[in-house]
């Protein structure tokens, strides 16, 4: 329990805990006092109904509640979707004794479906009661909330840290969901894409203006470098609430650095958990591009390789077919000299200066048999680096997405 930030409460009703099995889950995160709040949202032109509502609320820089429904994206639902979202905020406001202006909402699920209003009208009061009771501060409730946001996820994704700031302990706790329609590109000014949701709670004493650049930078270094299928969602969101209950503030540059690094590590841990739990995934892949002319070049190339179906199916087959990596590099839009490029599987170099090395196909497979594989590209064109995290591409991904609505 010690890792939970002070002054927060949570409650969750995972889909599998419902009286009747359902594809809907519901979670609420709550701060006992007004908290500094910031969020990054997807850059998809098509946005779920909740994002403009949140953006309006975030203008004050404060919030107390984040209410999450999983199973329904509430996206492309027209005016009815907006009316229904506002209604759920009213229900939560009443049940939690919090102004509707302090309630943020997030959702994930099928685009075009309407919200399960019958369920929500019962469950928002029920969950709120639990949250405000003794249970609300227990670790188990936070765990249930993290379970409740899952859709096609197979594992709960939680990360936490404690960092000393000015002699005081500051706690950061985060959870996220995401397994398919994963290729986030979120900004602070943002619009929505594919669905990954992350929630970070901390008892640091700070302001929205101090939080925003840190959240933006941490998101760029973590969630925005994960892809499962290249399909950006309409609902991607990362939220942070900081309620000040620790009493610690960021007085010096080194305080700021210490907090930022802990926040970034949590975001990285959560991001890797998304890639590892990608729909149907059997392997985690890190694509590293080194020796690029610019960071943008390195990132673009890493992303192109990470989204290549041929690279990802080869990884699944543990096939050392590095030609597919080169073909993806070559279509990335980055100018480079293939005759200078190297490719390594982990530490094993299979392609050097534009030609195959003497490593046999059989030997080259060895590093690919691991559960976590690093594909390393060296361009010898400069000093910039970039990376992307992804997973392999399996028949199970196709099954999940052909058979079920997600």
Binding site for its own copies (CB under 8 A): 43-47, 73, 75-80, 110-112, 180-181, 183, 185, 191-194, 229-234, 307-310, 313-314, 316-317, 319, 321-324, 326-332, 334-336, 338-339, 351, 353-356, 393-395, 397-399, 401-403, 405-406
User: Least distance in Å: CB of 317 to its own copies?
Assistant: 3
User: Least distance in Å: CB of 65 to its own copies?
Assistant: 27
User: Least distance in Å: CB of 155 to its own copies?
Assistant: 21
Q: Identify the active-site residue in 42, 77, 152, 195.
A: 195
In the residue annotation, 33 being an active-site residue is answered as: no
User: Least distance in Å: CB of 330 to its own copies?
Assistant: 3
Nearest to 96 by CA among 134, 64, 68: 64
378 has which bridge partners? 290, 342
User: Least distance in Å: CB of 382 to its own copies?
Assistant: 16
SS (H, E, C) the chain: CCCCCCCEEEEEECHHHCCCCCCCEEEEEEEEEEEEEEEEEEECCCCECHHHHHHHHHCCCEEEEEEEEEEECCECCHHHHHHHHHHHHHHHHHHHCCCHHHEEEEEEEECCCCCCHHHHHHHHHHHHHHHHCHHHHCHHHHHHHHHHCCCCCCCCEEEEEEEEECCEEEEEEEEEECCCCCCCCEECCCECCCCCEEEEEECCCCCHHHHHHHHHHHHHCCHHHECCCCCCCCCCEEEEEECCCCCCCCCCHHHHHHHHHHHHHHHHHHHHHHHHCCCCCCCEEEEEEEEECCHHHHHHHHHHHHCCHHHHHHHHCCCCCCHHHHHHHHCCCCCCCHHHCEEEECCEEEEECCEECCCCHHHHHHHHHCCEEEEEEECCCCCEEEEEEEECCCHHHHHHHHHCCC
Query: What span, in angstroms and rounded, lies between the C-alpha atoms of 257 and 217?
Result: 12
User: Least distance in Å: CB of 376 to its own copies?
Assistant: 17
User: Least distance in Å: CB of 365 to its own copies?
Assistant: 12
Q: Which is nearer to its own copies, 110 or 349 (CB)?
A: 110
Q: Which is nearer to its own copies, 345 or 393 (CB)?
A: 393
Q: Which is nearer to its own copies, 133 or 323 (CB)?
A: 323
Task: Kindly list the distances between the CA atom of residue 67 and the CA atoms of 11, 26, 126, 184, 389, in Å, as whole numbers in the listed order.
Answer: 10, 8, 13, 21, 28
The crossing angle, in degrees rounded to 10, of helices 78-96 and 50-58 is 50
User: Least distance in Å: CB of 158 to its own copies?
Assistant: 27
Task: Kindly list the distances between the CA atom of residue 148 and the CA atoms of 6, 45, 86, 120, 295, in Å, as whole numbers in the listed order.
Answer: 22, 27, 21, 14, 37
Q: Which is nearer to its own copies, 183 or 272 (CB)?
A: 183
Q: Which is nearer to its own copies, 3 or 357 (CB)?
A: 357
Q: Which is nearer to its own copies, 200 or 232 (CB)?
A: 232
Q: Which is nearer to its own copies, 234 or 344 (CB)?
A: 234
Q: Which is nearer to its own copies, 94 or 405 (CB)?
A: 405
List the catalytic residues. Answer: 195
């Amino acid at each position: 329990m010690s890792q939970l930030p002070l002054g927060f409460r949570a409650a969750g009703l995972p889909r599998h805990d419902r009286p009747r099995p359902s594809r809907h889950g519901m979670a609420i995160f709550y701060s006992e006092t007004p908290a500094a709040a910031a969020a990054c949202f997807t850059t998809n032109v098509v946005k779920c109904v909740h994002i403009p509502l949140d953006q309006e609320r975030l203008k004050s820089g404060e919030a107390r509640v984040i209410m999450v429904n999983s199973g329904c994206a509430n996206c492309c639902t027209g005016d009815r979707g907006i009316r229904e979202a506002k209604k759920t905020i009213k229900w939560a406001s009443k049940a939690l004794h919090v102004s509707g202006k302090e309630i943020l909402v997030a959702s994930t699920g099928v685009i075009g479906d309407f919200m399960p209003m019958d369920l929500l009208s019962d469950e928002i009061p029920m969950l709120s009661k639990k949250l405000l009771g003794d249970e609300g501060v227990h670790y188990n409730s936070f765990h249930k909330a993290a379970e409740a946001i899952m859709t096609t996820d197979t594992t709960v994704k939680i990360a936490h840290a404690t960092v000393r700031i000015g002699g005081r302990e500051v706690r950061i706790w985060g959870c996220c969901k995401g397994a398919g329609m994963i290729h986030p590109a979120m900004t602070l000014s943002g619009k929505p894409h594919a669905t990954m949701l992350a929630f970070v709670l901390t008892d640091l004493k700070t302001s929205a203006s101090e939080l925003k650049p840190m959240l933006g930078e941490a998101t760029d270094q973590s969630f925005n470098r994960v892809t499962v299928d290249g399909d950006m969602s309409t609902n991607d969101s990362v939220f942070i609430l900081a309620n000040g209950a620790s009493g610690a503030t960021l007085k010096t540059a080194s305080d700021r650095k210490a907090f930022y690094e802990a926040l970034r590590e949590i975001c990285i841990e959560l991001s890797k958990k998304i890639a590892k739990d990608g729909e149907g995934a059997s392997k985690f892949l890190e694509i590293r591009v080194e020796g690029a002319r610019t960071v943008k070049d390195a990132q673009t190339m890493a992303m192109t390789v990470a989204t290549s179906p041929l690279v990802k199916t080869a990884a699944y087959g543990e096939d050392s077919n590095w030609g597919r990596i080169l073909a993806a590099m070559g279509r990335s839009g980055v100018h480079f000299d293939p005759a200078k490029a190297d490719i390594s599987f982990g530490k094993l170099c299979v392609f050097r200066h534009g030609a195959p090395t003497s490593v046999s196909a059989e030997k080259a497979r060895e590093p690919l048999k691991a559960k976590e594989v690093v594909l390393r590209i060296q361009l010898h064109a400069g000093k910039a680096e970039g990376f992307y995290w992804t997973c392999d591409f399996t028949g199970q991904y196709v099954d999940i997405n052909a058979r079920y609505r997600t």
